[in-house]
Amino acid sequence: MVALARSALPIADDVDISTFKHDVLKGLGARRKHLPPKYFYDAAGSQLFDRITDQAEYYPTRCEMHILQDNAAEIMRLVPAGAALVEFGSGSNKKARILLAAAPVLAAYVPVDISGEMLEREADALQLDFPRLNIQPVAADFTHEFELPEEAKAAPVRVGLFPGSTIGNFEPHEASSFLRNAAKILGPNSKLIIGADLIKPTDILNAAYNDAAGVTAKFNLNLLVRINRELGGTFDIKSFEHHAFFNRERHRIEMHLASLKRQKVKVAGECFDFRAGETIHTENSYKYSVESLGALARGVGWQPSAVWTDAKKYFSVQAFTMGPKG
């Protein structure tokens, strides 16, 4: 859960249908069925995720917001005047707003998101609240290299922002790739601020992804609703149920959709068999300790420089610096 870190994943409601079809057919045809979590976020899925963040059991969003609100001035001391702030997977800009209110004069704020329509809408709204801020939105998949605007490239320092515990939705090797890619984009002497969910008691983690109101279950099942609507799927939604649990060995929450019976499902003209109990793996959310995320970052050249947590140490905001050689 994008955390389901989700709001920051490289997603788009207007995703290319051929890519969606390819990814779904490939995932359902695999030995262990799986679907990319980025496809959770059609209009209905995005609304459901907003509801998830309001559930009593779902702590990540509240914890991160409190950390940012309580420590914004101290966090922004890492950002020198004239720097460019680059947000990877900007989404609604809610968290960036807190930091921008405490920021020095910036060369540019660069929100990066794959959804161009949402990007422009959020940038326009942000400009009303920060009329003097130079906002330079970039429509791109932040998991790949992209070109920064000239104002950001010319800034003496670039600071990356990656909130929402989206880092947890990557496999460890993917997280390393993202950190390496961020270093290339931001360049020498850059800084990176990351929101990361921390390892904690299993009952708290399991409750966060199995809320009593069943909103997360609806969010997970909505992926099948989308496949039915957009790819001519024949999923019987009532024949699947939401499963989410903490995998202790791999330090991650896993989300699955489990088949309640033996059945056949057609998608885009192709037929897929399901055994009773067989699952579609839809998402992982890795949980880190401060030390384990620091070790991952050091492995690609980032040096830990500061950590902020909530009182219960459920969530963290961690800062890293890159040396002069990048």
Instruction: Look at phi and psi of residue 127 and say left if phi exceeds 0, alpha if psi is from -120 to 50, else beta.
Output: alpha
pLDDT for position 15? 58
CATH topology of domain 1-326: Rossmann fold (3.40.50)
DSSP lists the bridge partners of residue 88 as 112
List b or e across 275-296, with b for residues whose CB sees 16 or more CB atoms inside 10 angstroms.
Answer: eeeebbbbbbbbbbebebbbeb
Residues of the chain with pLDDT under 70: 1-15, 326
pLDDT per position as a tens digit, 144-169: 899 999 999 999 999 999 999 999 99
Whole-angstrom distance, CA of residue 65 vs CA of residue 72 = 10
CB 33 within 8 A of CB 181: no
Contact 103, 91 (CB under 8 A): no
Give domain limits for the chain. Answer: 1-326
Encode pLDDT of 206-249 as tens digits: 999 999 999 999 999 999 999 999 999 999 999 999 999 999 99
* Predicted pLDDT of residue 13: 46
What is the pLDDT, as a whole number, of residue 221? 98
User: Residue 199 gets which letter from DSSP?
Assistant: P
Exposed e or buried b for every residue in 309-322, given b needs 16+ CB within 10 A?
bbeeebbbbbbbbb
